[in-house]
Structure 1
Amino acid sequence: MTTTQQDQDVIDLLLTQHRQIRDLFAEVRNATGEPRQRAFHRLVRLLAVHESAEELVVHPASRHDATNTVVDACLREENDAKRELTNLYALGTDAPGFDERFARFERAVLAHAAHEEQQEFPMLRRRTDPAKLRRMAGAVRAAEAVSPTRPHAGVGESATTMMLAGPPMALFDRMRDAIRDWHRTDND
């Protein structure tokens, strides 16, 4: 039996994205040159929209249904990851030292995903109505559609800040992505 988007709850959606993130980490690790850079840009985009949506939708619900300690730890980890992802993006995939920093970043992100999967998600599933979890998946998809495609570490992690600053940053990021992609195809 296949799950449609309407049937999928927010936890299943996020677990699917966590698998995609793991796959992209492996792709970046195993590629070189332009394919590596493209995989890294896909990873940056997925992490940026994923974390923004969690900050807007999931963590506020978890704070209500879980505990502040769990949510605060997730937010700290995400803010640290945004800062390091910003640094890696500026460094570039071909720079000396990228591999070592990327490996540390990967370990931190995967530990964060495990923290969510083992602590936050089970509490959310136990304490939240299944219909609400399905609605939250739709809210996450909507948030991702208007979220920045790059990390903006200086913005902060509150849902209010993301609601105010996220859409203008997302528009700017998406314009930069379109121009970068146009240049890439125009120069091929």
Structure 2
Amino acid sequence: MSSTTTQYSSTSDLIDLLKAQHGQIRDLFDQVMNSEGQERKEAFRALVRLLAVHETAEEEIVHPVARSLPGGDGIVDDRLAEERQAKELLSELDGMDTDDPAFLKTLDKLRMDVLTHARAEERYEFDRLGAQFSPAQLKGFAAAVRAAEAIAPTRPHPGTESATKNMLVGPPAAMMDRVRDIIRDARGKG
């Protein structure tokens, strides 16, 4: 996990950054699916956090930029609908015990939805952004995504799938999420 983290934290291109995060998300799904007990809990916590901050940054930075492309509104609207469904399912999973027999079945549904969503982003959104914007612009967007991720909520918040809603709800939600994370970690619960 740390090599992927290093990989995407050092890239300066928006498309490379987001695709590297998609790779880390795939790896975390595999880790959660193929582990048990505390290891599964920790991998799931890492997955929840990465999905939450990644989607928030896309909603605040990437999707508004993609709307400026020809046909961008339809592409982004489809992605936002997928993100809302994924957040709802992730929120349901976040409240489950990772040892619950229904957990893996629900996680597999989320995995399929998220991976399909990521492929659609890469094909319909990222490729077009890469063709439309200069390397300097993509570098600036990557920096903006990192800044958004640094202050993003660490848990899913269905219903906040727009830049405006994320800006209004995001900071207080992020603060509450991060306090909950600290308390959970202090208690030693993954």
Both proteins in one fold, TM over 0.5: yes
1:80-112 CA distance string (max 9 Å, x none) = 100000001112211121111111110000000
The one of 106, 113, 124 equivalent to 1:108 is: 113
Partner of 1:20: 24
Partner of 1:64: 68
The one of 112, 120, 126 equivalent to 1:121 is: 126
Partner of 1:83: 88
- Distance in 2 between residues matched to 1:111 and 1:176, nearest whole Å: 30
Partner of 2:48: 44
SS in 2 for 1:65: coil
Partner of 2:102: 97
**Which 5+ residue runs of structure 2 have no aligned equivalent?**
1-6
SS in 2 for 1:164: helix
1:95-139 CA distance string (max 9 Å, x none) = 121111111110000000000111111111111122111000000
Task: Detail structure 1 runs of 4+ shifted over 2 Å in the superposition.
Answer: 3-7
What is the root-mean-square deviation in Å for CA atoms of aligned residues?
A: 1.6
The one of 151, 155, 174 equivalent to 2:156 is: 151
- One-letter amino acid matched to 1:182: A
- Distance in 2 between residues matched to 1:178 and 1:160, nearest whole Å: 27
- Distance in 2 between residues matched to 1:98 and 1:159, nearest whole Å: 31
The one of 12, 16, 27 equivalent to 1:8 is: 12
- Tell me the TM-score normalized by structure 1: 0.92
**Which 5+ residue runs of structure 1 have no aligned equivalent?**
none
- Tell me the TM-score normalized by structure 2: 0.91
The aligned length equals: 182
Q: Give me the identity figure in percent.
A: 49
- Distance in 1 between residues matched to 2:55 and 2:11, nearest whole Å: 22
Call closer, same or farther: CA 1:170–1:180 in 2, change over 3 Å.
Answer: same
